Structure 1
Amino acid sequence: MSEAVEANPIHANGPRRSATIYDIAAAAGVSHQSVSRYMRGMDMRESTKTKIEKALETLSYRPNLTARALITGRSHRIGALTHEINQYGPSLIIQGATTAARQAGYLLDVVSLDMGNVDELNEALTQLLQYDIAGILAFTSTDSARTVFESTEFDVPVLIASEEDDFAPGEHLESSGIGAVVAHLVSLGHRRILHIAGPETWSAARNRLRTFEAALEHHNLQAAGIVHGDWSARSGYETISALAAKSLPTAIVAANDQMALGAIHALAKRGLQVPEDISVTGVDDTPEAPYFTPSLTTVRLDFRAQGREAVSSLLAAIEPTAPQESTRPAPELIIRDSSGPLRN
């Protein structure tokens, strides 16, 4: 009996059928034994491997993960736990992870849940571990979720994908580009700069705050204020609305674009113009950022690369010979209309 693989060959006058290793071998001009060895991940000549991969592409081959698991004795499903998948950053991270897993021959089973609900986390983990999975990818941003993952024993490889913030005094993590934002504002003459930070229980928010403070120290400045939001536009609006007039800065660095949007609206309600009276910047470069009024100066981050890196690191534990994802691109400062020179 020949081995079958799922494919999508085009048949003008008949139904679609799955390709066999004989079909692939014929298209590649190699033996069916070579195709079988390729499917098992065995070593072979690079020229033979190239021919087979070209044939698979021609036949629109899609790997049958169930059949592959029977052949190799190893699952090709990865469980992924995430949260706030409706938000810009987390959604792109999952997109990058899903693509990377698929390209490596794995299926990513995504479970979106409330990371602040410990019971829900435990229930999701229990359900995932009932299935035959190759590993677990946990995208976590909160302290409580990380604690749950770190205190759970797993029978499969696990990667907890979250920002670290246990740095030595004086160190800071410049993965958000906030240092470049501060340098940009200082170059425009600003000295009274306020930061709208994210939730204190999020490591990413703490890192962005520490980067902001370190950047100010580098320029021999002190913060004009630090207020905390919850990443939403509403929280950005409320924090700036609550400031006394005498506490208003000349520039605002929001930890994400949504809070920057709320800040711009709050300033408009107070009769202030951006950037003529106060400059406002964000982080993330969401698709809407160029269409803010005014368009938002922000930092472009490669969230998809974060997802690819996470999958690559997990696959290194599952398959030590798996290729590793290269370092993600550096943050890119995108200067638009919401930042301008300090008015004398």
Structure 2
Amino acid sequence: MPQSGETAHRRATLYDVARLAGVSHQTVSQVVKSGPHVRPETRHRVEAAIAQLGYTPNLAARTLATARSHRIGALFFDRYDEVGPTRTMQAAVDYARDHGYVVDVVGVDPHDPSSLGAALELVAQAGVAGVIVFAPTAEVIDAVRALSLAVSVPVIVESEVVSGPEPGTGPTRALGLRLATEYLAELGHERFFHVAGPHTWLPARERTAQYRAVIEERSLRSVGEYEGDWSARSGYLAGLDLPLDSGLTAVVVSNDQMALGVLKALHIRGVRVPEQLSVIGYDDVAESAYFEPALTTISNDFEGQGRLAMDALLQTIDPARPHSELFQRDPVLVVRDSTAPPPV
């Protein structure tokens, strides 16, 4: 990145940015803090100078000046290889960084309440401004609410404030698996099978509820459900267990990794997809377009969910910060080769 000769061999300062942009250092500070009282043309000039000089705010200096920490603790449940939560967390971390915060991510076993409490206490005592918890299960949410922290900081579970100045709720969860099931129904399928995620996970419960609602509303028939654990292996086992003699023509799977396992099992069983059986997944992972056949799936805005969650925490930390225009887009159906009308 190009820099002026004066700052090429040292870290650029706020005053360097002000000099290059032809504004006061107070104006640069307002732009860095996303202050609302800066004219657009001035803001653009300052942002261009920041980019040219490679300027980054000194978080330690900001903390001393404002008596406010710019570190955030994030608890992430990394025992499962699930793509969606990872994308959500990464988007939240990136959003925090873009707004001048550093995020310390701590991995926690969701089945060990003692590790949850210890991790939450640890990050709270480390001088963080707040804590965000990416919680897959109702048990985790209940455990966070039951904890009594020695240090008072706002704690947000995804987008819901569970401790802090005042409670609040996050965005309504999008009905992605409803979209998947309705699409198959529109193709003419009437007999379905559902490969669900682990029932202890809230997203898995929600997706199963959406599937069942469409089956009931449209007077369709579900010939069975299988509880997987998000892994391709569990999808493979579900595929081996599918009751092919039941007239089944469509399989609705709660994530793409399990759908991959289903496709493998059907191949071994000599079932042609989609000529004999349609399969649809959820998540739209990068590899799903390269499955054999390419997987029809639901693209969900995990990144938007992560940004909303972090924005909710930052707003709780600093209620005076400008209101954001963030939103989480609706799920999108991605039609590929694994679905077709049922065989005649």
Q: TM-score, normalised by structure 1?
A: 0.87
- Aligned residue number for residue 265 of structure 1: 264
One of 77, 100, 107 as aligned partner of 2:102 = 107
Look up the match of 2:60: 66
Of 124, 130, 152, which aligns to 2:147?
Answer: 152
CA distances 1:81-106 after superposition (whole Å, capped 9, x unpaired): 11238532122112211111011111
State the one-letter code of the partner of 2:91.
G
Alignment match, 2:285 = 286
Secondary structure of the equivalent of 2:266? helix
TM-score by length of 2: 0.87
Alignment of 1:22-33 (within 5 A): 22-33=15-26
| One-letter amino acid of the counterpart of residue 308, structure 2 | E
CA distance in structure 2 between the partners assigned to 1:245 and 1:57 by the alignment: 60
Aligned positions, number: 328
> 2:80 aligned with 1:80, yes or no?
no
1:1-344 matches, within 5 Å, as 10=3, 16-35=9-28, 44-46=37-39, 49-84=43-78, 86-154=81-149, 155-161=152-158, 175-247=174-246, 249-322=248-321, 323-344=323-344
- Give the deviation of 1:185 after TM superposition: 1.1
Q: Do the aligned partners of 1:316 and 1:324 also contact (CA within 8 Å) in 2?
A: no
**1:87 corresponds to which letter in structure 2?**
E
C-alpha distance 9-68 of structure 1, shift in aligned 2 (>3 A): farther
Q: Which amino acid aligns with 1:83?
A: F
Letter aligned with residue 139 of structure 1: F
Name the aligned partner's letter for residue 202 of structure 2. Answer: S
Matched position secondary structure for 1:195: strand
Q: Percent identity?
A: 41
For residue 136 of structure 2, what is the amino acid of its counterpart?
S
Q: CA separation in 2, counterparts of 1:294 and 1:307?
A: 31
Cα distance between partner residues in 1 of 2:272 and 2:71? 52
TM-superposed deviation, 1:110: 1.1
**Conservation of the 8 A alpha-carbon contact between 1:178 and 1:211:** yes
In structure 2, list runs of 5 or more residues that go unmatched.
Answer: 161-171
Secondary structure of residue in 2 paired with 1:272: coil
Amino acid at match of 1:160: V
Q: Which has the higher contact order (CA 8 A, sep 6+)?
A: 2
- After TM superposition, give the deviation of residue 174 of structure 1 in Å: 6.5
Q: CA deviation at 1:253?
A: 0.1
Cα 1:162–1:281 change in 2 (3 A) is farther
Structure 1 residues 162 and 247, CA gap change in structure 2 (3 angstroms): farther
Q: Cα deviation per residue 1:111-134 (whole Å; 9 max; x = unaligned)?
A: 122212212212211211221111
Partner Cα separation in structure 1 for residue 333 and residue 26 of structure 2: 53
Q: Which runs of 5+ in 1 are unaligned?
A: 1-7, 164-172
